[in-house]
Amino acid sequence: MTLVRHCAIWQRHSGRDAMKDSSSRRRVISPRRDPIQLAFKYLSLRDRTAAQLTRYLQRQRVPKKIVREAVARCIELGYLNDRSFAFRWAESRVQRRPMAKPALEAELLAKGFDEPLVAETLARLYGRDTERRFAGEIIRQQQKGGRAVSPARLASLLRQRGFGEEVIAEAIGMEHRDDGDAHGE
């Protein structure tokens, strides 16, 4: 049975339930709105993961089988692509707020991406020296305008962003060497 046929049957069933359940506080989807239309509307607001769309449709009381088919159809049509969304989101996140690989990993997992996809995204995003570069960017941001920031404060800030002690020591050491070179020391 096709998704369209399932939706038609579900809509007729929902319409009868809506009439019976009119005094209930539980929200029932209008029989005029099929799950694909709900999915399209939800996805039109911003990018989502397949897991987020699944949870949304389930909250809308769409039967599980139809939810799976609607999510599959959205993937087939190109409206859902967890792989590209994970990379775009992660890339944007570290551009706005540079952070260490473990911190970004935690954020991606919390967002609902599965572990293999998170590992793939992190491998694509973090090259060999990326964490050191991000740590250096954070230090330079803190020192803008000639502000003097203590190495202890910088180390604390980098720890809060998830950087390891080795990266912190290298980044702070490199920035202080650069400062010394710039001042002719």
Dump pLDDT digits (tens) for 116-144: 999 999 998 887 678 888 888 888 888 88
Nearest one of 65, 19, 59 to 38, comparing CA atoms: 59
Q: Quick check: pTM over 0.75?
A: no
Task: Write the pLDDT tens digit of every residue in 20-54.
Answer: 444 445 555 454 468 989 999 999 988 899 989 99
Q: Please say whether the dihedral angle defined by the alpha carbons of residues 45, 66, 86 and 163, taken in this order, is positive or negative.
A: positive
